[in-house]
């Protein structure tokens, strides 16, 4: 039986601000700026938005959208507190809302002052899921994701022989893609030597294994496919979408397998919903809070076997023209950190044929992942309408 | 004598300390007394960590804390170079070890006295007790 959500909702509009280090704008202003651009991209009157899912905690609440955009009749508002998995999980909620008729157009937005506002250690204390880490791990000097996820990366290296050279490849290729994009924080070439010479943050993660702390906003509009096909831009439908939560969700330390992410559960559901498999994916935007996180997700997504993610990323495979181009916009590692909503925007551009110098030829089907909050995993498979 | 005085030194950063919950208080009380206490289900006997209200195997809400063996083997580790919290700046780099305790749960704690080059999965270590003030003692790993 075909899943009732398959291709019934679409990404109808996308918008983003400049990605910078340093801004005088608030997180709210960044979200609204990106939202207005996304609405213009879709050709939707802002007042017709009736569902809002702002980023939590991102300085904006649904009421701000009513006040600023003059929304006439908001029928759905929600926060999805899943850290880096939030944005793609929000697509699932939005797809359900527009498919059932609860909403016409759902706005998903992120605005972050991750560089000019509060930095990572302070910000995390606002996340409910970090309460256990704050009690048991912060006092021993372990709290930032770079530290919490480093143990899993080290274990992967010990078990499978994954190397820093392979981590570097992800960083270098992602940077090459960022330079093609232009609207990025990191716009100078990066070499393997630069990666290896960068300072150690939390072994095995060096500075260039870590995503950026940056300022910026991003927004997407989700509409029912029947409405979206009459809007301004080429139709890109949501073929499959899912969220997943790992066992021991708030504590990596107590998780039976510390290399198991929520994506282990959500990826098979999204593939089944879309009726596709890894071989059908032309381009992938993989949540890249750390280089290693990309390598492990490629395994979970079925592009290679467990333990083979390191060798998989080598030899040009993940670059433009390779077997599986990934993070064609520069990702969180080089473009900017807007919690992965920039990955959704880039995948939509790729499938519309609007990706400019980073365009993957004949990109028809692609996937985007979200990862966060100690390992929640979300995934969406999008495709260009035939 | 010169009237010039050096500007007051900024206060030393304070160590982040645990805020025990009603569920976890006995665990921290145990560490303060030099005992490694773990929560066990009173109904099915299963051990669980971190402390929480319900046994996810049999859904009993009754539990008791029992003293557990201190040995374990290394599951994973990281060497923290960048101090995300100012307090840890003076002691960085330091090793945080994730250990499979013989008691059947994992504990994350700093590892002292074993050089990074000697770390490998499965290496035996022992949980020790590091008092940081009158109220709080933290776990620490040392060579067995």
pLDDT at A56: 80
Q: Please report how the helices A291-300 and A164-181 are oriented relative to each other, as an axis angle in degrees rounded to 10.
A: 100
Token code pair at residue A378? 């979300």
pLDDT at A81 over 50: yes
In a domain, A122, yes or no: no
Helix locations, chain B, DSSP H: 25-32
Mutate which of A129, A133, A135, A206 to disrupt the B interface (most B C-beta within 10 Å)? Answer: A135
Stretch B98-116: mean pLDDT, rounded?
Answer: 97
Residue of chain B whose alpha carbon sits nearest to that of A157: B76
pLDDT at B1 over 50: no
Percent of chain B at pLDDT exceeding 70:
95
pLDDT at A323 over 60: yes
Give residue A224's domain range.
9-117+211-384
Residues A23-43 have pLDDT tens digits of 999 999 999 999 999 999 999
pLDDT at A117: 84
Is there a contact between A253 and B83 if contact means CB atoms under 8 Å apart? no
In a domain, A38, yes or no: yes
Are the C-beta atoms of B144 and B126 separated by less than 8 Å?
A: yes
B5 pLDDT band, cuts 50/70/90, is low
pLDDT at B30 over 90: yes
Mutate which of A136, A206, A252, A255 to disrupt the B interface (most B C-beta within 10 Å)? Answer: A136
Mean pLDDT of chain B: 94
* A159: chain B residues, CB-CB within 8 Å: 121
Distance from CA of A357 to the nearest CA of B (A): 36
pLDDT at A1: 85
pLDDT at A244: 98
pLDDT at B4 over 60: no
Stretch B71-97: mean pLDDT, rounded?
Answer: 96
Of B3 and A193, more confident:
A193
Q: Which of A321, A295, A301, A302 is nearest to A378 (CA)?
A: A301
Residues A66-78 have pLDDT tens digits of 999 999 999 999 9
pLDDT at B13: 84
Is there a contact between A251 and B50 if contact means CB atoms under 8 Å apart? yes
In CATH, the architecture of B70-144 is: Beta Barrel (2.40)
pLDDT at A266: 98
pTM comes to 0.96
CATH of the domain at A44: 3.40.47.10
pLDDT at A131 over 90: no
Stretch B100-105: mean pLDDT, rounded?
Answer: 98
Domain total for chain A? 1
Q: Which of B89, B96, B143, B1 is nearest to A152 (CA)?
A: B96
Is A265 exposed, middle or buried (CB count within 10 Å of its CB: 0-12, 13-18, 19+)?
middle
Domain boundaries, chain B: 22-68, 70-144
Token code pair at residue B80? 């923290």
Percent of chain A at pLDDT exceeding 90:
91
Stretch A164-191: mean pLDDT, rounded?
Answer: 97
Give the number of beta-carbon pairs within 8 Å between A and B.
105
Stretch B12-26: mean pLDDT, rounded?
Answer: 92
């Amino acid at each position: 039986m075909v899943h009732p959500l398959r291709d019934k909702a679409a990404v109808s509009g996308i918008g983003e601000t400049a990605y910078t280090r340093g801004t005088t704008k608030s997180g709210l202003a960044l979200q609204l700026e990106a939202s207005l651009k996304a609405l213009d991209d879709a050709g939707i009157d802002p007042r017709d938005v009736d569902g809002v899912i702002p980023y939590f905690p991102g300085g904006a609440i649904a009421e701000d959208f009513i006040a600023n955009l003059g929304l006439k009749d908001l029928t759905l508002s929600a926060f999805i507190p899943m850290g880096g998995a939030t944005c793609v999980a929000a697509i699932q909620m939005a797809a359900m809302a527009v498919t059932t008729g609860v909403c016409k157009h759902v706005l998903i937005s992120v605005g972050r002052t991750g560089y000019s506002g509060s930095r990572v250690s302070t910000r995390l204390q606002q996340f409910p899921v970090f309460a256990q880490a704050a009690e048991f791990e912060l006092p021993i000097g372990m709290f930032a994701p770079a530290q919490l996820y480093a143990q899993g990366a080290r274990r992967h290296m010990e078990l499978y022989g994954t190397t820093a050279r392979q981590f570097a490849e992800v960083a270098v290729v992602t940077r090459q893609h960022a330079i093609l994009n232009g609207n990025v924080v990191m716009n100078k070439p990066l070499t393997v030597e630069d990666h290896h010479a960068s300072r150690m943050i939390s072994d095995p993660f060096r500075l260039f294994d870590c995503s950026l702390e940056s300022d910026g906003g991003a927004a997407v509009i989700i509409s029912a496919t029947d409405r979206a096909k009459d809007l301004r831009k080429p139709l890109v439908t949501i073929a499959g979408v899912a969220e997943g939560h790992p066992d021991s969700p708030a504590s990596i330390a107590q998780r039976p397998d510390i290399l198991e992410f929520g994506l282990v559960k959500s990826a098979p559901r999204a593939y089944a919903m879309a009726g596709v498999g890894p071989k059908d994916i032309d381009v992938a935007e993989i949540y890249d809070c750390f280089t290693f996180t990309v390598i492990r997700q490629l395994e979970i997504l079925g592009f290679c076997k467990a333990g083979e993610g390191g060798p998989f990323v080598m030899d040009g495979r993940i670059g433009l023209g390779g077997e599986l181009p990934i993070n064609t916009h520069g990702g969180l590692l080089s473009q900017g950190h807007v919690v992965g909503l920039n990955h959704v925007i880039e995948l939509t551009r790729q499938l519309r044929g609007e990706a400019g110098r980073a365009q993957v030829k004949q990109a028809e089907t692609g996937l985007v992942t979200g990862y966060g909050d100690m390992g929640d995993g979300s995934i969406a498979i999008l495709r260009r309408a035939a | 004598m010169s009237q010039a005085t050096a500007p007051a030194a900024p206060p030393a950063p304070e160590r982040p300390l645990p805020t025990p919950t009603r569920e976890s208080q006995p665990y921290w009380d145990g560490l303060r007394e030099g005992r490694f206490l773990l929560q066990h289900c009173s109904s099915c006997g299963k051990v669980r960590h971190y402390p929480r209200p319900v046994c996810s195997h049999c859904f009993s809400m009754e539990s008791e804390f029992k003293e557990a063996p201190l040995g374990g083997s290394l599951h994973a580790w990281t060497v923290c170079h960048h101090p995300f919290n100012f307090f840890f700046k003076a002691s960085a780099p330091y090793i945080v070890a994730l250990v499979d305790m013989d008691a059947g749960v994992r504990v994350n704690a700093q590892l002292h006295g074993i050089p990074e080059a000697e770390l490998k999965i499965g290496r035996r270590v022992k949980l020790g007790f590091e008092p940081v003030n009158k109220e709080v003692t933290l776990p620490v790993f040392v060579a067995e």
